[in-house]
Structure 1
Amino acid sequence: MAGRRLLVATAVVAAAAAVVAAAALEAINVTTVAFEEGYTPLFGFDNILRSADDRTVSLLLDRSTGSGFMSSSMYQHGFFSASIKLPSDYTAGVVVAFYTSNGDVIEKRHDELDFEFLGNIRGKPWRVQTNVYGNGSVSRGREERYLLPFDPTTEFHRYSILWTRAAIVFFVDDVPIREVRRTPAMTGDFPSKPMSIYATVWDASTWATSGGRYRVNYRYGPFVASFTDLALLGCRVGDPIGQMLSSAACTAAEDALLASDLAVMTLEKQQAMRRFREQNMVYSYCYDTLRYPAPFLECDVVESERRRFKGSGHLRLAFRRRRRTRPGSRPARPTRAADM
């Protein structure tokens, strides 16, 4: 019992330290756009609601359809961001996604960078999954999954993707949570072709919650995901095939992005990223030896970290996230990662 209390106390202290460290990072300031300036409806048009100032968009999932929107242009690298508030209550089977892709125009060789938010049964937290696909490498998913250190349904939180020719970085509230550096080991799996930016909400009952055990229950719908603070920073291109033939037009813009504070991974950013991952990552493809017996060459496997994960890639022990509690209240008990 004493050991369990020590584990809980250690987790609470570490989480508090992570919050302080995140607060010390300089906020990312980029220009945001109105919906009409950078985006267009994709599907479920009647389920897309826009605010009077056109800067907040709500996507609905109901019995009839989900909904989504996409950028009006494709981009050769850039910084893409949105503040998102997720549906609350029973959300099993619901997936909200904010991602980049060229799958609509390049079959079998598409690239993709994902934030996928996976709903859950009442009382269980939303989980967020990041993924990287390059050149159609869908059989080699590079998933990582995290629990968020806040309730993503009560207020907006910012999720951002930085994509350059050198690296990909995922951010949550301006804290980097994952960096994928371009290495020779990735060969063509590193995304390199122009992509559009998408936001969607849809029914993923077949897999999203406990492998399809819990499905969408439309008695709790409609499920509403809201997006605001939309940011599109990058080199716009019209035709991805044409851009691959002549990419010089974007070189100057990307050089400026690489030299900016956005792309510089400072020591403070590295430390904040390590703390986030230690406290919140519950699955990593790098430790999933059941699915991938031959490890990915780009994985920087840390032995002390590897021991925290099972052969399935899931964390051996996780801590149940609690919503804001009264000062002095008893901290959460440990729970198995499988319960998440």
Structure 2
Amino acid sequence: MASSSYYGSLFLLLLSLFLWFSTNVLGGNFNTLFDNLFGEERVDIKEDGNSMTLTLDEYCGSGIVSKNEYLFGRFDMKIKLVPGNSAGTVTAYYLSSVGAQHDEIDIEFLGNLTGEPYLLSTNVYAEGIGGREMQFYLWFDPTEDYHMYSIDWNPERIIILVDNNPIRVMLNRQRIGVPFPTKRPMRVYTTLWNGDSWATRWGEVKIDLTNAPFVAGFKNFNAIACIANQGQTANCRNYNGGKYKGLDRESKRKMKQVLSKWVVYDYCADLRRYAHGLPYECRKENRIQLD
């Protein structure tokens, strides 16, 4: 006959599994995990929820938003960008909370004229404060095939990756007064919209709607993240821990290569914008060391 200690251990195991699954999401399905944000039929979910296209036409763009709010985790999405003359279009994949002091982690693809490369633009907002832009050219044509873009977020740092290669790390520097997103749960957004007032050459090149509809493809969304609906954040505080998790020697080597070849703009190198001194987080001792 099984002892009471056995049943007690089994109960604790089942309880821990229940709590784990109630606060974690594994995998992803566009039908079950997302709601239509705007664009109605321009959001076309396919393959039993495993893939999707967003369309921008002369009337409207389109987008989706996650049903759940998350506090920390890793979020992967395979994206195939609008081909041809994509000037003025913005394809975005990002996390965001709501409110005047919102937090946000952005990956935005700024379209360009045919034959010219996309800009991959990243930014981080915390407590409503942004202005932390880094922009990159990609080392491949992002319109020919799907590539994976990832946001890996924990209380210590944010890593942005392309095909599992880290391209940007932002460390938590709250100890020196730099806001960092640690408190507000965020939803996942995926959108395609007309941003021609600023997206291409700061708005100089406008969208050519004779090329509409513009279509971007998305598939294989995957999230290993802590669900924090209705502000239930207690179980998420140390989620996805590990100060530099995912940055082994090879990852650092690849990131260093990207930073040496593909950076178009880095706010931490903008001496015109910060003529009186770079922000504290831009100082060498406050940035990740790749050597």
TM-score by length of 2: 0.84
Displacement over 4 Å in runs of 4+: none
Partner of 2:5: none
Query: Residue type of the partner of 1:227?
Result: F
Cα 1:93/1:226, change in 2 over 3 Å: same
Aligned length: 259
Task: Provide the rounded CA distance (Å) in 2 between the counterparts of 1:279 and 1:134.
Answer: 28
1:197 match = 188
Aligned match of 1:272? 254
Tell me by how many angstroms 1:172 deviates.
0.2
Partner of 2:135: 145
Residue 283 of structure 1 is aligned with which of 254, 265, 272? Answer: 265
Match of 1:134 in 2: 126
Counterpart of 1:108 in structure 2 is 100
- Secondary structure class of the residue paired with 2:49: coil
Q: Which amino acid aligns with 2:71?
A: Q
Residue-by-residue CA offset, 1:257-316 (whole Å, 9 max, x unaligned)? 2259x92421111111111111111110001122223311111459xxxxxxxxxxxxxx
Provide the residue aligned with 2:41 in structure 1.
46
- Other-structure match for 1:93: 88
Superposition map of 1:112-127 within 5 A: 112-127=104-119
- Cα distance in 2 between the residues matched to 1:185 and 1:123: 45
Where structure 1 has 5 or more consecutive residues not aligned to the other structure, the ranges are 1-29, 303-340
Deviations 1:137-178 (A, max 9, x none): 03xx10000000000001000000011000000000000110
Residues 83 and 289 of structure 1: is their aligned pair in 2 closer, same or farther, counting only changes over 3 Å? same
Q: Which has the higher contact order (CA 8 A, sep 6+)?
A: 2
Q: CA RMSD for the aligned pairs? A: 1.9
CA–CA distance in structure 1, aligned partners of residues 247 and 212 of structure 2? 41
Cα deviation, residue 213, structure 1: 0.8
Contact 1:135 1:188 (8 Å CA) reproduced:
no
In structure 2, list runs of 5 or more residues that go unmatched: 1-24, 286-291
Q: How far apart, CA to CA, are the structure 2 residues paired with 1:269 and 1:197?
A: 25
Q: For 2:174 and 2:144, locate their aligned partners in 1 and report how far apart those are by CA, in whole Å.
A: 42
Alignment of 1:301-320 (within 5 A): 301=284
Q: In structure 1, what is the Cα distance between the partners aligned to 2:175 and 2:140?
A: 35
Deviations 1:65-86 (A, max 9, x none): 0000011100011111100000
Letter matched to residue 147 of structure 2: H
Is 1:179 paired with 2:169? yes
Show CA shifts across 1:8-62 (max 9, x none).
Answer: xxxxxxxxxxxxxxxxxxxxxx953221232111110110111132110100000
Aligned equivalents of 2:72, 2:139: Cα separation in 1: 29
Q: Report the TM-score, using the length of structure 1 for normalisation.
A: 0.73
Task: State whether residues 174 and 180 of structure 2, in contact with CA within 8 Å, keep that contact through their aligned partners in structure 1.
Answer: no
Q: 1:37 maps to which residue?
A: 32
Give the letter aligned to residue 144 of structure 2: T
1:219 counterpart residue number: 210
Task: Kindly indicate whether the alpha-carbon contact (under 8 Å) linking 1:185 and 1:298 is maintained by their aligned counterparts in 2.
Answer: no
